[in-house]
Amino acid sequence: GAVVSQHPSRVICKSGTSVKIECRSLDFQATTMFWYRQFPKQSLMLMATSNEGSKATYEQGVEKDKFLINHASLTLSTLTVTSAHPEDSSFYICSARRRDRASEQYFGPGTRLTVT
């Protein structure tokens, strides 16, 4: 199978602090990883695309200085929410595109971020 893990699964932080979320492809190499945000009962909204060894590409309206993305290896990408505010509270999901099957993306289990 193609397994993607995310850590942590849930995090609560205080306003003004930063939070790092890790996304790992466990049994395959991922040339590209994606970060999504999802509000309750809604579809996924793409935030940014992360390629190994290069800068992330952010979607329109997503602040790159607020949502820092690092793709250090073919199996790990991190999303850091800096100076978090309550409106950043959401469900963040990463996905990884397989190097050998580019048409398929596999999703992590998501991270529930709550900013108090």
Chain residues binding other proteins by CB under 8 A are 4, 6, 34, 41-44, 46, 49, 91, 93, 95, 103-110, 112
Among residues 38 and 80, whose Cβ is nearest to other proteins? 38
- Residue 39 makes CB contacts below 8 A (sequence gap 6+) with 45, 90, 91
In angstroms, what is the minimal distance from the CB of 108 to other proteins?
A: 5
In angstroms, what is the minimal distance from the CB of 107 to other proteins?
A: 4
Among residues 14 and 41, whose Cβ is nearest to other proteins? 41
CA distance 112 to 13: 11
Q: Which of 76, 54, 80 is nearest to 66 (CA)?
A: 80
Among residues 19 and 93, whose Cβ is nearest to other proteins? 93
In angstroms, what is the minimal distance from the CB of 83 to other proteins?
A: 26
